[in-house]
């Protein structure tokens, strides 16, 4: 099944302005609204489709992500969502706001507006989480127009007060007993007019694009934590300050270590002879070095050994967690005749000695004996 083209759904070009997108949606929404087409399932489906498209394209952040990644873009939870959810109501409410203004409770700011915050996911390795990382990432965002410097004016002139609304961004009209206030159609609620708007950004002062930012990931960071970059979000509106950029950290699975807070866990196989006689084994650490671990005599599978201060870095601290090693005793395989005979001799010797060489087995068989005795009673 081919991916939806939200621009084709609304019948606009990819470089369409926000006003063009809104006008196209308003026309189609009125045409296909279920109240005007009662009992027609196709009209209802069409209405949901155009509402879904408008919900994405009206939002600068969603539109930038859609232009880069398509309909399955990284907007959280696997894409942009359908028109049957919040997008449906949010999209259609724009029409009512334009028609009835404050009667419907809608009100737009006419002054400078802070830009939206942006969140971006960054996956790093466990080693990078241990040491920290300096990284450069490219993100889709809304940034000041490079042609007009964010002023929206082609000649660099300052915006003038809108004569239609006297700079308030709102106009009133009396209809019968009602006085309806709505967004000024001349300045679109800005309260000001740009006489010579920039051709590149159509006077908006902002454009969708990409930018590269540097990210400093601190040592000891955990899965799901965020790094905040102040002022690196979307550009503000009408001279407003930019939003912030939040980097959501994901940590890739490690082939050897499992992390739990500041501690690290690993599973280390050792030969049966080392487990029985004791010895030592070299184990890698998260800092790229090796540490020699002493194996006590008679070590069993599942036994855990602790190595202090060989775990993860604790963020904003010089301390480190611990490393826990779970022992796995390997049974030898592919024995030749000589080795097989030696193993048999060892087994016979252990059996004849009368000493308790296998405490786990003896405890198990004692419990089994008690179980069968209870069944016979």
List the CATH code of the domain at 110-154+200-253.
2.60.260.20
Question: Which residues make beta-bridge pairs with 215?
Answer: 135
List the CATH code of the domain at 6-104.
1.10.287.110
Q: Do residues 141 and 234 touch, judged by C-beta distance below 8 A?
A: yes
Q: pLDDT tens across 155-210, in order? A: 877 788 888 888 888 888 776 666 777 888 888 777 888 888 888 887 778 888 88
Domain 258-350 is classified in which CATH homologous superfamily? Answer: Urease metallochaperone UreE, N-terminal domain (2.60.260.20)
What residues does CATH 2.60.260.20 cover in the chain? 110-154+200-253, 258-350
Q: Do residues 128 and 185 touch, judged by C-beta distance below 8 A?
A: no
DSSP-based three-state secondary structure for 171: strand
Mean pLDDT of 79-83: 46
- Position 275 pLDDT exceeds 90: yes
| Rounded CA separation 7/18 (Å) | 12
Q: pLDDT tens across 228-244, in order? A: 999 999 988 766 889 99
pLDDT in the model for residue 368: 65
220 confidence band (pLDDT: 50, 70, 90): very high
What residues does CATH 1.10.287.110 cover in the chain? 6-104
Please give the backbone phi and psi of residue 66, each rounded to the nearest 5 degrees, phi first.
Answer: -65, -45
DSSP string, 93-152: HHHHHHHHGGGGT-----S-BPPPPEEEEEEE-HHHHHH-EEEEEEEEEEEE-TTTTTS-
Residue of higher predicted confidence among 33 and 144: 144
What residue has token string 């790094």? 227
């Amino acid at each position: 099944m081919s991916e939806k083209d939200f621009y084709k759904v609304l019948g606009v070009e990819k470089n369409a302005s926000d006003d063009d997108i809104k006008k196209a949606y308003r026309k189609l929404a009125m045409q296909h609204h279920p109240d005007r087409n009662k009992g027609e399932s196709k009209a209802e489906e069409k209405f949901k489709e155009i509402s879904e498209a408008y919900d994405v394209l009206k939002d600068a952040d969603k539109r930038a992500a859609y232009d880069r990644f398509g309909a399955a873009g990284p907007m959280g939870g696997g894409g942009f969502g359908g028109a049957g959810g919040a997008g449906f109501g949010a999209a259609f409410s724009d029409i009512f706001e334009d028609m009835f203004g404050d009667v419907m409770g809608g009100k737009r700011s006419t002054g400078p507006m802070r830009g939206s915050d942006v969140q971006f996911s960054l996956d790093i390795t466990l080693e990078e989480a241990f040491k920290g990382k300096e990284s450069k990432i490219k993100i889709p965002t809304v940034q000041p127009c490079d042609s007009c410097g964010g002023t929206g004016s082609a000649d660099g002139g300052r915006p003038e007060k809108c004569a239609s609304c006297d700079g308030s961004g709102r106009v009133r009209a009396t209809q019968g007993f009602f006085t309806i206030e709505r967004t000024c159609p001349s300045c679109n609620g800005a309260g000001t007019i740009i006489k010579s708007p920039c051709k590149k950004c159509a006077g908006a002062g902002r454009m969708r694009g990409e930018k590269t930012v540097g990210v400093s990931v601190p040592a000891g960071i955990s899965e799901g934590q965020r790094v905040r970059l102040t002022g690196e979000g979307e550009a503000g509106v009408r001279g407003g300050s930019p939003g912030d950029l939040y980097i959501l950290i994901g940590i890739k699975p490690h082939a050897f270590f499992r992390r739990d807070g500041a501690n690290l866990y690993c599973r280390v196989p050792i030969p049966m002879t080392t487990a029985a006689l004791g010895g030592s084994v070299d184990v890698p650490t998260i800092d790229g070095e090796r540490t020699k671990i002493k194996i006590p005599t008679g070590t069993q599978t599942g036994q855990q050994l602790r190595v202090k201060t060989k775990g993860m870095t604790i963020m904003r601290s010089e301390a480190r967690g611990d490393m826990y090693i779970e022992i796995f005793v390997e049974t030898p395989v592919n024995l030749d005749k000589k080795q097989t005979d030696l193993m048999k001799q060892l087994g016979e010797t252990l059996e004849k000695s009368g000493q308790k060489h296998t405490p786990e087995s003896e405890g198990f068989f004692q419990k089994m004996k008690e179980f069968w005795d209870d069944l016979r009673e």
